[in-house]
Chain A
Amino acid sequence: MTMHDKRLAKTHDDILEAMAEALAIPPSKLEEARSRYEAIGNWLDRPESTLADYDPAISPQGSFLLGTVTRPLTDAEEYDVDLVCRLNATKAEFTQKSLKDAVGYEVGLYAKAHGMTKPDDGRRCWTLNYAAGAQFHMDILPALPDAQRYQTKLLAEGYRTLAHDSALSGHAIAITDKTLPHYDQPTEDWPQSNPTGYGAWFRNRMLVQLTESKKAFAKRERITASVDEIPDYKVKTPLQRAVQLLKRHRDCMFAEDCEHKPISIIITTLSAHAYNEETTISGALQSILTVMDRYIEDRGGAAWVANPVNPAENFADKWAEEPKKSENFDRWLGQARQDFALYLRANAFDKVPELLREHLGPQLVDRAMAAVLPVAAAGLAAPAIITSAARAEDVDRAQHAVDQINRAGPQSKPWARS
């Protein structure tokens, strides 16, 4: 590859984009994960499947649904792909236990047929482990449709708008939990979840930029298809990029203390609230890091990060009993704000401050920078000629800044007391 093949970075955003790209799941890995979970879906739905009568459907939830997957910190760690396995059945036909067992039976057969180890029986999920090289595992969550009960609850709690919005609450599910006392009893009050509704909420928070990104993608790839035909996962909005960078920053900062690190759903929810359809990653980070903590509510003295599609659920419910979690969130936000602000506000685009480099992973940052900068530009002394040219540019920039202020009307004039 010659120098001319490189798409050289010219702005902070070019660098942020390169770093976000480097810490995202590689497209080939994403395709592999997709084809593997589709294979599981096909298996569950095959004619001889014991679940075939219930139209089992597999769909992603969490970061795979939101498009905010980040690479694990080390090659030894795995992507965890969160999936919902939804049967078209009712609680009259299943207890939590019998649903979990029925899904487990078929997932077990799938594992056996593919020479994999027996799936792990978790509190709510079955975990399917692939051979070491695959670098991921699947958490499969057995579920039944349960929108009506979900919406009734929302109404009872006074959330009318949510209850009547089918995109946000019409796909809620009932899930199983083997630690509950009535786990093997026929009951109505199963635990609930609403990953599809959350995904719709998150998508709504960036709808304008999602469309813009798809238009740009179509243009770049010379595709004539309409925007609606381009799947979401083909593009990334500034919000998704910002969330990836922030999650990575969190991962590096708490590499030694995974137990108490701020959880992804809190970072994602607060970021999406604070995001205001900014068109750049830097703009998104500025908004998010400046105001994200204002979306933590205080409910009777308890810190509350409401699930936007079920405000009675608190994503920060562990903070009360483990103050360290709340302290760590504050510490993380303070550090992320400082690290990104120092880079964006106080440095030239090709100078990544040491702490940001450390908190995004030095190797990853160096690799991303090398891919978009000429030679190893960072740190090299600039020739004298460039310095004087830069000085003339400074005056041009100051002129521009002065013009901006003069257009808006300056607010002050310097004076002297004596």
Chain B
Amino acid sequence: MATLELQGIRKSFGALEVLSSVDLELEDGGFLVLLGPSGCGKSTLLSIIAGLEEASAGDILVGGRRVNEVFPKDRNIAMVFQSYALYPTMDVARNIGFGLEMRKVPGPERVEKVRAAADLLQIGHLLDRKPAQLSGGQRQRVAMGRAIVRDPDLFLFDEPLSNLDAKLRVQMRTEIKRLHDRLGTTVVYVTHDQVEAMTLGTKVAVMKEGVIQQLADPQTIYDRPANMFVAGFIGSPAMNFLDGTVETEGGPALVLTGDGQRVALDRAPAGQGARVIAGIRPEHFTLGEGSPVRLTGRIEVLEPTGPDTMVVLSVAGREITARLPPRIGLAPGAMIDLGVDRSAITFFNPETGTAL
């Protein structure tokens, strides 16, 4: 177990800069989720932490020790790959025990540890099978077993659940969380599934094009996204954005750019006449008279999901989605007047996209 610190990590493949100055710190026993769209450099960053790729610049510190020049085999890190990367010629027991074998752990001790890890993951009965004879979920467990058996300083997970079906994914997610609670090992976990990020992480780093956009605990990321990218990336359905101009005369308000609708606010996010973008999450709309902040739009589509109904409306020429209770008897084409939880509105600078 150890802390992890990255200082100014850069990585280029030839002329292509994949990571530009990544800094982060993770406390001992922390669970960091790296979240970002495909191709943003998440796997590359993991490879650099593991030592499989060399950083073009910057330092990697594990447990306070600089490990840039340490070979991967000596870093005492374990990793679970998206494809699991089980050794096809070896049986499950040898797959799990391979790390111990390489570290010259004596036979009997190895057998014991492999068995313990396998039991923990409930794959004790599979030990003499070959990877080809396992189901997807079982392979995933073997890959995990291979990681935990060595008691490493650091776990790296690269989208470990993305090859599983939806149900198994939820189940394994819970299991990973339980495993982390139990073992307490520091974890870096890559995913582009934001639910995994929110449920698992003690810290979430949202990445885009090789730059960390925001590093914070999951609730902060959700409630106070640092910029429009993070706001739009986290949450499903995504946050709604409305363009408008701030007015301070006659009570703070936002005048929507498309239709001139005036939305009353409790405080002005910027000076008179400033252009802003208001971000409102779907669940912050309410039906009925309760809220003073109101927004009018035309219903385009209704998408009942069971517990909620997603209402897609057209407001000021933009499509926005509101999460409303089911069975409310609305019909497409009708005009609707919604309340907004105004404390939950986030404002962004339209030029830079950063939160105000």
Task: Decide whether A and B are members of one complex.
Answer: no
Interface residues of A (CB under 8 A from B): none
